Amino acid sequence: MASHASSRVAKLAILSESPADEAAFGILIESVLERPFVRVRANLRARGWPSVLQVLPAVIRHLHFNTDAQGLVVVVDSDDSVVHTEAHDAPDYFHPQCRMCRLRATFRQTVKRLPPARGRERVLRGVGLAVPAVEAWYLCGRDARVTEDAWVNGQARGVLPYTRGQLKERIYGTDRPSLEYALRRAVVEVERFRRDTRRLEHDFPGFAALARDLRSWNLG
Ligand SMILES: [Zn+2]
């Protein structure tokens, strides 16, 4: 029985813009996977969007050859960039200003050159896009006006419904929280989704896309 139980534990790595968010992402990932996971450390850390994109190929290669990680979850903020839509999901489509499209393309290009290693074909992909920033996810269910739709409509009209600073202010009481305090607040907020992420998936398609990736993983 012990071996059965341990086979249910997934092994995965998380790469995001800040370590403050990774504990909260861990809770969301377990909720979607409906199983616990062991965190595999990536070889590099990132700070902010461009650095996530830059280190991604090296992180994938490291996990593939040097670890037993089954998958890698990458989450970034959209900030002011183009928000991923269903239209971007068309075969062979790629929006150069969309961070989700760019992360997926980098993933694809990196894994396709790698030979099987450590008993698996490739490291599985999970990509999420927090619109406009992860603090919007943390407000989900507490303020019905904070949704990905509200942001996208605001972008289209040129009148943003809120700023990223305002979202941070509401979660942390400041737009420059300490790492430790940010981590604690993030974990408290995602507790609402520990057993059910449906509301978050509904209000934030950039999270739903990550949930779809995770549910497509065949972890055995
Ligand atoms: Zn896209």
SS3 state of residue 130: strand
- pLDDT of amino acid 3: 43
Helix (H) or strand (E) holding 30, with range, is: helix 22-33
**How far, in Å, is the centroid of ligand 1 from the Cα of 93?**
8
Split the chain (220 residues) into runs of 10 and give each run's mean pLDDT. 58 94 96 94 91 97 97 98 95 94 97 94 97 98 97 96 97 94 97 96 98 92
Q: How far apart are CA 64 and CA 71, in angstroms?
A: 9
- pLDDT of amino acid 33: 95
**How far, in Å, is the centroid of ligand 1 from the Cα of 98?**
5
- Angle, CA 103 vertex, CA 210 and CA 12 arms, to 5°: 55
**How far, in Å, is the centroid of ligand 1 from the Cα of 2?**
42
**How far, in Å, is the centroid of ligand 1 from the Cα of 51?**
19
Global pTM reads: 0.94
- pLDDT of amino acid 218: 86
**How far, in Å, is the centroid of ligand 1 from the Cα of 99?**
7
Tell me the two tokens of residue 96: 């150069």
Ion ligand 1 neighbours, Cβ < 5 Å: 84, 88, 95, 98, 100-101
**How far, in Å, is the centroid of ligand 1 from the Cα of 119?**
32
Query: For 30-65, b where at least 16 C-beta lie within 10 A, e where not — what string?
Result: ebbbeeebeebebeeebeebeebbebbeebbbbbbe
- pLDDT of amino acid 7: 60
**How far, in Å, is the centroid of ligand 1 from the Cα of 83?**
7
